[in-house]
A = this chain, B = another copy of it.
Amino acid sequence: DPSAPADPAEAEEFLRLCYTEQPRLGPVEPRLAAVRAQIAATGTYTHTSEELTWGAKVAWRNASRCIGRLYWRSLTVLDRRKARTADEIFSLLVRHLDVAGGGSALRPVISVFAPAVPGRPYARVWNEQLIRYAGYRTEAGIVGDPRYVSFTDAMHAMGWRGRGGPFDVLPVVVETPDEAPRLFELPEQAVLEVPIAHPELSWFERLGLRWHAVPAISNMRLRVGGVDYPLAPFNGWYMGTEIGARNLADPDRYNLLPIVASGLGLDTSHEATLWRDRALVELNRAVLWSFERAGVKITDHHTESSRFLAHMRNEEKAGRPVPADWTWIVPPMSGGATPVFHRYYHEADQRPNFYLDSEAAS
């Protein structure tokens, strides 16, 4: 609960872990005493920038749904706690995308904005991800991403006018305590996109598909040592299946399997021809191949599965349990053909971590 005072027990647990794992920070006791006093006096406390950096990295390390955690130490943490106005915040979001994807050598980045202070409203971004495509209701059906139809409707109600295309980047809505929600258009150069073609099938390119290079989740709350950061957008790079087996494939998203199957000339009259599976593979090949062609970093689900198991070995060697959620770690295609399928994981809510407030605690 971002409006509650910082929990002193969680603060202590965090600080002990942080100072133990990083001996160069010195003894934790004096710091603990200071933090206890600050919580008693103000209901919260302020992380040093080392604590914040380490906290964000460990939140990633603890993200039990994330297969990409091998790289957790490499997170770039941008300390944006001083930003207050919507203008400041938006320009730092643009800066985030620039650090993350400037020059197409993608980097994992998190921008941490001001923490929630008990009893006071806080700034947030309405978008699920910084870059997402609009979805328009039309008489011929939905154009664009069906997932964002109501978000797009809300943008329209606030005066935005989309071009009505299938891949129109949505505006970013920044809400601060002092200003009404404000819409901002991302500058073109902040939004790296990749047109999707297929290594062999020339008609594929004519489908006119594209996807953005940087998945930057902007609606999760970062919780570090009992303190909530309601605005802390983060990004890694894509695993191909997120685009090819979910965003472009899910029936309630771009729903492209029937279209790709028809391009492939498959018999879709009964399921046992496995036309869905064949279309799915070609769509995913196209995604991976297109990103590679464009020189934009992406990973495939086989490689990433092995890396995740390497991460588990590293962590176990360091004596740390690796909480993991099988249903998210196992990729949405060819699950059984990836090594992450064939084992159990330990599930746990370890902190620091990321939370989605609209989601029921599970």
Q: Does A31 contact B (CB under 8 A)?
A: no
- Chain B residues in 8 Å Cβ range of A280: 334, 337
Distance, CA A333 to CA B327, complexed state (A): 13
Which listed residue, B289, B292, B332, B339, touches A335 by the CB 8 Å rule? B332
Which listed residue, B251, B272, B333, touches A303 by the CB 8 Å rule? B272
- Chain B residues in 8 Å Cβ range of A336: 241, 245-246, 249-250, 332-333
- Chain B residues in 8 Å Cβ range of A277: 281, 284, 333-334, 337
Q: Which residue of B lies closest to A278 (CB)?
A: B281
B289, A272: Cβ atoms under 8 Å? yes
Q: Does A167 contact B (CB under 8 A)?
A: no
- Chain B residues in 8 Å Cβ range of A356: none
Q: Does A204 contact B (CB under 8 A)?
A: no
Q: Does A341 contact B (CB under 8 A)?
A: yes
Interface residues on A, range: 35 or more
Q: In the assembled complex, how far is the CB of residue A155 from the closest CB belonging to chain B, in whole angstroms?
A: 26
Distance, CA A331 to CA B302, complexed state (A): 17
- Chain B residues in 8 Å Cβ range of A274: 281, 284-285, 288, 300
Q: Does A257 contact B (CB under 8 A)?
A: yes
Distance, CA A341 to CA B332, complexed state (A): 8
With A277-B281, A277-B284, A342-B250 already in contact, the answer to whether A337 and B272 are too (CB < 8 A) is no
Q: In the assembled complex, how far is the CB of residue A303 from the closest CB belonging to chain B, in whole angstroms?
A: 5
- Chain B residues in 8 Å Cβ range of A78: none
One complex includes copies of this chain to the number of: 2
Q: Does A330 contact B (CB under 8 A)?
A: yes
Which listed residue, B252, B333, B342, touches A333 by the CB 8 Å rule? B333
Q: Does A160 contact B (CB under 8 A)?
A: no
- Chain B residues in 8 Å Cβ range of A281: 274, 277-278, 281
- Chain B residues in 8 Å Cβ range of A271: 300, 302-303
Which residues of chain A from 277 to 320 have a CB within 8 Å of any chain B CB? 277-278, 280-281, 284-285, 288-289, 292, 300, 302-303
Q: Which residue of B lies closest to A199 (CB)?
A: B273
Which listed residue, B251, B252, B288, B333, touches A272 by the CB 8 Å rule? B288
Q: Does A212 contact B (CB under 8 A)?
A: no
Q: Does A19 contact B (CB under 8 A)?
A: no
- Chain B residues in 8 Å Cβ range of A342: 250, 252
Chain A residues with CB under 8 Å of chain B are: 240-241, 245-246, 249-252, 257, 271-274, 276-278, 280-281, 284-285, 288-289, 292, 300, 302-303, 326-327, 330-337, 339, 341-342
27 A-B pairs with C-beta separation under 8 A: A245-B337, A246-B336, A252-B342, A257-B337, A271-B302, A271-B303, A272-B288, A272-B292, A272-B300, A272-B303, A273-B285, A274-B284, A274-B285, A274-B288, A274-B300, A276-B302, A277-B337, A278-B281, A280-B334, A280-B337, A281-B281, A326-B327, A332-B336, A332-B341, A333-B333, A333-B334, A334-B334
With A246-B336, A326-B327, A333-B334 already in contact, 16 other A-B pairs whose C-beta atoms are closer than 8 Å: A245-B337, A249-B337, A250-B336, A271-B300, A271-B302, A272-B289, A272-B303, A276-B302, A276-B337, A277-B281, A280-B334, A280-B337, A331-B335, A332-B336, A332-B341, A333-B335
